[in-house]
Structure 1
Amino acid sequence: MPSAPLNDIAPFDMHDQQISVLLIDDDEDLIELSADFLEHELEQAETTTVTDPTTGLTEAIEGAYDCIVCDYDMPTLNGLAILNAVQNEGVDIPFILFTGKGSEEIASKAISAGVDEYLQKGGPEEYPVLANKIENLVEKHRAEEQVQRGFRAIESAQEGIGIIDEDGIYQYLNEAYAEIYDRERAEIIGQHWEMLYPDAEADRFTNEILPKLDSRGSWSGYATGLTKNGETVSERLVLTPTDDGGHVCLVQSLASEDELKQELELKNRALDAASVGVTITDPTQEDNPLVYVNDGFVTLTGYDRGEILGKNCRFLQGEGTTPETVTAIRKAIDNEESISTAILNYDADGDPFWNYLEISPVEDEDGTVTHFVGFQRDVTELKAQQTAMEDQIEWLSEFAEVVSHDLKNPLSVIRGNIELAMQSGEMERLTEAQQAADRLDELIDDLSNVMRQRQLVNDLEPVDFAEVFQSVRWSEGGSHSVDVADSNVIVADKQALARLAENLVHNTIEHGGDGTTMRVGTLPNGFYYEDTGPGLPDESPDTIFKPGFTTKDDGAGLGMVSIRQIAAGHGWEVSLAESPEGGARFEFTNVDSPA
């Protein structure tokens, strides 16, 4: 059964909309912390902070915000005074009293004043609660506004809109509906729909139209109604069933055949003015040819109308068109079903473009499919953006795993040195542990910055790469060192380069025995890192840098991925080789030097 038109309307969705939050708090440090936490907890949140209550009140009244989060105890104006002033100015948005001075008295005053939420400040655990309350209040407020706008739109619509229950009784109708029949709303609401139609027309509704509405899920066509004075009214109707057994009725008066002709001409002009391509095919003819195309389709494809009419739409397909998509379209048409899909088409110049195609069957009053209507849009740019977004999501997923791996390096140094200090009593080991802890803190800040900016490499600066490699620390016993054959200054993100160096050094320590030596040196357009360990496995570089590849039973296989990510983030090329001693050698080229 075809879906009813109202069933195709998308529900309200607030989750992708920006939420603008005004924070008012005289504690400058706390308000900035609150803003940071909220923007972390609510990806779509945008915060504005004001520490002066008077300025905050002005901003609340004159600005455009979705929610106000306000402290209570502030100089010159407290939070409830601000709420009262905002309400007096007619600003109707959610207001949350977020106070560090909590008491039953204040809570009672807040509720009486009409705050939407009252929340007492605490530790970081309070911010997810605050973020959740903001999101819920804003979504509820927006939904209420949407409903109000929708109701006002229905009330002011030029078309008549009515709701009839399962017994055929009018439960609601707008002014335009009543005017078509020259009646007041009160005369129709509570009455059966038959009062507006001649007996013969009422019989047609009962015996023909309403059964089709039940079987097909919607009905549209023409009918004849009656005014209060008994005059006939030519009208166009669209009926859509409701879940409770009733239906929604959209009605429009048609004064004469001339008006019908004008309406048809207007539709044709509207279709030609549309930016999307519109086509109509006739399945009763051989090969379901095109019998109508609008100007938008001509512009989209680059073909003249005369070259298009009479052909099947497959003339737009080419070597890159996916056979599976073509099969799906053909199957939907054979089954007289709707379909929406993206297909690679080719214009008159042979240039490919992604066409988002929507095809639906068109039925006559008897339910027989007489035509197919198609809508086409060029979504080439959107397709490219989607591909780029999918690549970004894949990178972020892989990066999240790598972050977990990279954080374990300094953690192992901390744990190892603490354990050695406890066993041997060498308190200098705690110094090593402290330095590793400092490195861990730097790494967390760096990775947090990466996630905020969604770029692995951010702060480029002149860096002596050998110094970075020599600063790497480890906790394992044995003799290890990073020798410097030669060095120079390169342009790099120092924190990202430190992560790369840590992964290389720790990879050598994990796979090499006691006395394994590491060495760095320069290349004509970059630098290398090599060791005297057992060397790289006999695998292709693509395999070695693939997530999950490891030669250890308990390895995560993410160290090499991190190295590849950081090199790619700098625009470097990385290749694998063998050191003179038979160990592993990594060569990084296309590396920039300071100007």
Structure 2
Amino acid sequence: MLSVLYVDDEECLLEIGKTFLEMDGSMQVDISTSAQSKLEGWGNINYDVIISDYEMPLVNGIEFLETLRSRGDRTPFIIFTGRGREEVVINALNAGADYYIQKGGAPKAQFAELTHKIKKAAERRQTEYALEQSNSVLRATLESTADGIMVADMSGEITIFNKKFLQMWQVPPDNSQILDESAFIEFARNQVVDYPAYLKRIEEIRAEKGSTSYDIISFSDGRVFRRFSQAHTMNSLVVGRVWSFRDITGQNKSELELRVTYEQLSTAEEELKQQYKELADNVRILQDLERKYRGIFDTDMSPHLIVSKDTMKILDLNDAACRLYGYTREEFLTLSFSSLSTDPQRNSEQLTGNKADLQMHFHKRKDGKIFPVEVSFTSFGDGTPSILILSIRDISTIKQVEDALRLANVKLNLLLGITRHDVLNKLSVLMGYNEILRSKTDDGEILEILNKQLRACQTIKSQIDFTKEYDNLGIRAPQWQNVQEIASRAFSQMLKTVPFRCVTESIAVYADPMLEKVFYNLFDNSFRYGECVSEISLTFDRAGPDIILSYRDNGIGISQDDKNHIFRKGFGKNTGLGLFLSREILSITRMTIIENGEYGKGVCFEIRIPEGNYRFAPLPEKAREYGKEQKVLADE
């Protein structure tokens, strides 16, 4: 029975998941609502498979996975989440997840798929473990034998040897003399007696590919080796030759002793045959794994290309890429990736850099039709990656979906406005009755209850009024906005009098029209919680191809404990929504925000603007005055 750990912060999903997974009796499921708590007690129990949600408090699913892998834990890991963004999938697989399954749909079908993936992941890990164990046994066997062993393939490359072989042939520590069979034969020139005869005998053995040989090698320093070799076969096909050497220096060379030695050799031969039979089985297992991974690559519905980083030549692809571009596999293999783009230079610059973020390009099909795509890639290679695996996403229909979503949001906000109006009316009635009741009693206990009720009503009204400001979030299309103009306009609404220095030059960003609300919330947080804020600044720096806007004040700052929670919905002393909604506004156009200040010295909010989402445009006249230190005066 499989032992499975299922982690999700939704208890109801844990219970239904446990019920479905244990239904066929093949597994026992341990559930937890916190990855953090499981990590703290890790090591008390071993699991065959781990299932985890992505978005969870304190430690999310990918952080949970990365922590386990950093500890050397290779338990199969499945991300099971409602988040379907492609970057989440890529991050999960890059972190070492075995599978990624998105929640949604009919529970029976969904958990049937999850059950299948659990069993498949457990089976694959068991196979890998068996292979590792077999390889370990093979290496230990080679190193424990008294003979020097060397294996070469049909091309002459030496693929396996043990330490005894190096000692017997007095090979230098760097092993440079045995890179291949020819180099090793030359290395023996000054060691063996009658080198021409030695070389001739090896050529005879090589000529008889499937033969078994036995002979004696005499050395110039008086040593004598017995040499035995036989063909290395796989599936009845000769793939190389195994050489075995035993030092028989000082032994009686009589026929009797030779006969005994030959019998011992025959026994060793049988052992080697058994060992290499196991090795052949291991190779077949590796081949099966390669076929499985190849099947996943070929059957994936997303188009993938394998490209040389140096030449941009397409080396391999899956069927989905053929369907997307209209080329046959043979035609694709004659093309370079740059030839698919309408802007080859920009296309190449992205792939030759180190940035693997999603970027939009315009590609052309075989029939000449141009369409937008998003391209992401993963690099492979030691030190200097030479192979790129590209993931292509056709985004032609995204605009249609965005328009439909925007229309739905308009209708939804209309309904919310009506509902909000009705709720506020009823809330006013409730607060009115509260006032009437308070005027009719002097009972202290009842007045305390009425005061609590009034505070609850006021909180509800405050939150409803606050959400009204975000009715238009995501409804209107993003647009180019000058940072200095937007920030200065937001600052002018504040009721405090402090110097504000805005040095962002002429940067314009592509953002949701509610960008001004982001800066308003940052200013509001400084004045509400900064305690001693006397100056505020907004500057920018370059971070590779991106730009980082830095918002700073000289107040008390944010404690380390709060840094990881300030952007969570409901966290804070006021509505708990300001910074949460600010992050959501920025994320509409792929911008991110973090707090990186030092507690006691003020806040430092860093807004990262990705390449393509900013430009330098002329600064509006009314915003130029904020290039110097300014004060906004208002009655407090």
Shorter-normalised TM-score: what interval?
Answer: 0.3 to 0.5
Report the TM-score, using the length of structure 1 for normalisation. Answer: 0.34
- Per the normalisation by structure 2, the TM-score is 0.32
